Every structure is written in C-alpha cells, then in structure tokens.
C-alpha cells in the first residue's frame, strides 16, 4: 500500500475507497489528526488498516492538550470545509475530532457564499473606479482642448489610474466629446475668458429709481470691472446718459496716466445702445478691443451680472433714495465693502483687497464695522495691543 494513502470505509459515501492523506493535512502545526477515533486505529482487529505500518499516517503537527483552544486561520478553515464537504455529515460525525461537524459545514457554506459576494465586491469596486476615471477623462478633455487620448492617459497615470488610450477614447466618444483635432478648433467662451482674464475688463449698466423734486427719476449707473483683480470703478451715475456723456467716459477710461483701462486689451459689454459707436471707437483707438456679447446671453458677461445682482440684493433694493447724492453715497459704500470687506467665492472665498491686520486670527476682540446703517457689515479682530488700548 502506498505510504501516502489512507483506507476509508465505503459507507462514508466517497467515490473512491482511498482518500489521500494530504487531504487531511491542513498545514497547522498545532492541530493533530486523531487516527484512533471511531475504530480507525491500525490495531483494530479485522480492519484493513491493520496491515498498514504505524508510520503510514503522519502529520506535521504535534499533539496538543485538550484544554488548548485552537486558533485556525481562514486558509485552514477553507481546507477543512472542502474535506468536510467530501465526507458529508455522516462521515464528519464518525471521524471529526478537531471541530464539530456543524462548524465545518458552516465554514463550507461561507466558502460558497464568498465565491459570489467576492465577485460582486470586485465588480462594484471596479465600477466605482471606472466612474471616477470617466469623470477625470471628461474633465481633462473639457479643460484642455489640445489633449489627445494619450495625453489624457498620461494624466490619469499621474493620479494612479492605469488605463489604455483606447479606453479613454471610448469614454470620450460615449460622452459626445470629439477628438483633440476638433476640440482645439472650437474654443469655448469660458476658456477664452479664463485665458485672457489678466487683460480683460467687463462693463454693464444698472438702473435705479430715485425720488427728486420732479418725482421718480431713473438713474443709470455704469461700472467697469477688472476681472483678474475684481476691482470695480464706477464710471458714471447720471439720469441723462447719452452719446456725449459716454464719449467723455471713454476718454476717462483710456487716459494715459490714470485711465482704468490702461494695460487692458479686451472690453466686454452687452448690446446696450448706450455703448455707442463713438464710445467703442475711442476704446479701439487706445488699443482696447470691444467685444459685445450675443443678444439674450447674459451668461457671457457673467461677472458683471453677478456684481449687479449683489449690488441690488445687498444694497439698492433695500433702500429708498432721495436725490442723486444719496444714490452715489450708497453705491460708493458698496464698492468699498466689495473691495475691502466682502469675501469672494470666485477668489477662494478671500477678500480682494483686505485691510492690513484685520483679516484673520483668534487673538484680540471681535469688532463689527457697519456701512449704510448696518446693511453692510464686516467683522474682524483687533490686534491684542490695540484691543487693550481701546479698553
């Protein structure tokens, strides 16, 4: 008889009468194999094992004390579960001595369940990763018109995602994004504004009703904004805005010494008739190109529209004005607040031109600074020394 085979009774239900001894080896040095249990002793009379040498049944383990609790690893449990499935409940009841039969069958059920749950988990994790990769592919393609599939693949590799350029191409085609050869020819307005923000100004009008001796009079307020710095200048406030007034405004904006448009290349405005031909020609002569947005597309002048919204909601719509002077006072106060006290989401929630020593910190007393009777508030901390002197 081969030294590596153990005779098992046919009543166990195995397809073969011979079970490899290695099937009982679970690789644990602290787990013995009880070969004397339930008549499996080699000394039993009438047993075929009586002819097997005593050194035939061998294990790597040394006997352990009965009061020692076995600590099996997951790998060892899997091996026992596979053996237990072959033996069946009846065979386990007859021969199992390490753990109970129910425990071995329980491990087998978990092993079967793990076969499917593990696949689902792998698929779910991969699906989540592919969704992240898809978002990055679309983001890179939209923000970088000149990037091809290989360039996007390299950018993904920098982030730890390994995919081929074919996968990138499939993702972009499914999202309706054309190749770089076509994207580079079609620059969006948003990309144009971002790439020229340092040399671009925007302008717009807003109207306000003011009480005068002649009743309600509509006033026009023209402002110009430097996009890169978020700096605003009130170019004109008047109830008689016409071509002559606008021509003078253009000359003031393009003044060689202190003109607000000095160093600028682009002037974005809407199609308001107040932006007359003379006004535009004056700017063009000074080297500033006038770009008029499309009709009924305020989003093309979104920065100016956002300033108008803030000025109205935070200030003008909450006040009643009597005379031009009160309107000028309110608008100028808001511009000061906008520059030095208001946090801008477009600038990472920072203040464009903060006061020195009054922006951040936890030392010193909290001070509230009001404008327009509390309509515009600014909170800051005084320096410790200043706070003591004030107290």
Q: For residues 17 and 36, give the distance between their C-alpha atoms in angstroms, rounded to a whole number.
A: 19
- For 233, phi and psi rounded to 5 degrees? -125, 130
Check residue 190 and give its pLDDT.
81
Give the residue among 213, 195, 234, 194 at the shortest CA–CA distance from 331: 234
Highest mean pLDDT among 188-192, 202-206, 381-385: 202-206
> Residue 339 above 70 pLDDT?
yes
The tokens of 244 are what?
Answer: 């002559």
Mean pLDDT of the chain: 79
Instruction: Look at residue 159 and tell me whether its pLDDT is greater than 50.
Output: yes
Which parts of 207-347 fold into alpha helices (H)? 243-253, 277-285, 302-314, 324-340
pLDDT band at 71 (very low <50, low <70, confident <90, very high): low
The answer to whether residue 194 scores a pLDDT higher than 60 is yes
d(CA 201, CA 223): 10
Q: What is the mean pLDDT of residues 298-306?
A: 93
Cα–Cα distance measured from residue 228 to residue 352, given in angstroms and rounded to the nearest whole number: 10
Mention every residue, 6+ apart, whose C-beta is less than 8 A from residue 13.
87, 88, 90, 91
Q: Is the confidence at residue 39, as pLDDT, over 50?
A: no
User: Which pair of tokens denotes residue 263?
Assistant: 């160093």
Question: Rounded mean pLDDT of 83-99?
Answer: 63
Cβ atoms of residues 177 and 142 within 8 Å: yes
Locate the DSSP E strands across 89-158: none
Q: What's the whole-number mean pLDDT along residues 230-239?
A: 97
Q: Are 234 and 335 in contact (CB under 8 A)?
A: yes
* Residue, of 193 and 110, whose pLDDT is higher: 193
For tokens 């153990």, the residue is 6
Higher-scoring residue by pLDDT: 90, 42: 90
Lowest mean pLDDT among 14-18, 89-93, 125-129: 14-18
When pLDDT is cut at 50, 70 and 90, the band that residue 364 belongs to is: confident
Q: How far apart are CA 149 and CA 247, in angstroms?
A: 51
Whether residue 72 has pLDDT greater than 80: no
Q: Is 192 helix (H, G, I), strand (E, B) or coil?
A: helix
Backbone phi and psi for residue 324, each to the nearest 5 degrees, phi listed first: -65, -30
Residue 327: pLDDT above 60?
yes
Given this model, what pLDDT does residue 274 score? 95
Residue 271 has a CB neighbour count (10 Å cut-off) of: 11
Whose tokens are 């790998």? That residue is 75
Tokens of 241: 């805005």
Phi, psi torsion values for 7, nearest 5 degrees: -75, 130
DSSP 327-344: HHHHHHHHHHHHHHT--B
Q: Which residues contact 389 (CB under 8 A, 6 or more apart)?
A: none
Distance CA 29, CA 64 (A): 10
Instruction: Please give the distance of CA 102 from its chain centroid, rounded to a whole number.
Output: 48
CA distance 140 to 156: 9
Tell me the CATH number for domain 194-347.
3.30.420.10
Closest CA relative to residue 4, chosen from 56, 75, 77: 56
């Amino acid at each position: 008889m081969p030294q590596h085979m153990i005779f098992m009774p046919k009543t166990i239900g195995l397809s073969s009468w011979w079970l490899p001894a290695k099937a009982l080896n679970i690789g644990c040095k602290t787990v013995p194999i009880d070969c004397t249990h339930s008549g499996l002793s080699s000394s039993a009379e009438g047993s075929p094992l009586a002819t097997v040498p005593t050194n035939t049944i061998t294990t790597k383990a040394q006997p352990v004390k009965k009061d020692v609790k076995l600590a099996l690893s997951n790998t060892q449990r899997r091996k026992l579960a596979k053996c237990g499935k072959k033996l069946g409940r009846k065979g386990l009841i007859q021969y199992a001595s390490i753990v109970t039969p129910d425990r071995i069958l329980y491990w087998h059920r978990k092993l079967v369940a793990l076969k499917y749950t593990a696949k689902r988990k792998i698929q779910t994790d991969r699906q989540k990763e592919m969704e992240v990769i898809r978002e990055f592919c679309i983001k890179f393609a939209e923000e970088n018109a000149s990037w091809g599939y290989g360039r996007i693949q390299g950018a993904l590799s920098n982030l730890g995602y390994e995919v081929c350029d074919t996968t990138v191409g499939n993702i972009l085609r499914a999202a309706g994004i054309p190749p770089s050869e076509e994207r580079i020819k079609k620059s969006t307005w948003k990309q144009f504004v971002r790439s020229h923000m340092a040399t671009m100004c925007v302008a717009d009008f807003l109207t306000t009703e003011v009480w005068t001796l002649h009743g309600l009079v509509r006033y026009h307020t023209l402002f110009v904004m430097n996009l890169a710095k978020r700096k605003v200048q009130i170019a004109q406030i008047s109830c008689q805005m016409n071509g002559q007034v606008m021509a003078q405004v253009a000359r003031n904006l393009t003044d060689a010494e202190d003109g607000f448009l000095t160093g600028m290349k682009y002037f974005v405005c809407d199609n308001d008739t107040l932006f007359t031909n003379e006004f535009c020609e004056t700017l063009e002569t000074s080297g500033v190109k006038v770009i008029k947005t499309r009709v009924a597309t305020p989003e093309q002048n979104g920065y100016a529209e956002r300033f108008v919204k803030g000025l109205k909601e935070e200030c003008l719509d909450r006040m009643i004005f009597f005379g031009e002077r009160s309107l000028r006072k309110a608008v100028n106060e808001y511009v000061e607040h906008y520059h030095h006290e208001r946090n801008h989401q477009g600038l990472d929630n920072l203040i464009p031109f903060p006061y020195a020593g009054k922006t951040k910190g936890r030392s010193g007393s909290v001070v509230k600074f009001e404008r327009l009777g509390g309509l515009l508030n600014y909170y800051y901390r005084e320096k410790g020394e200043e706070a003591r002197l004030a107290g």
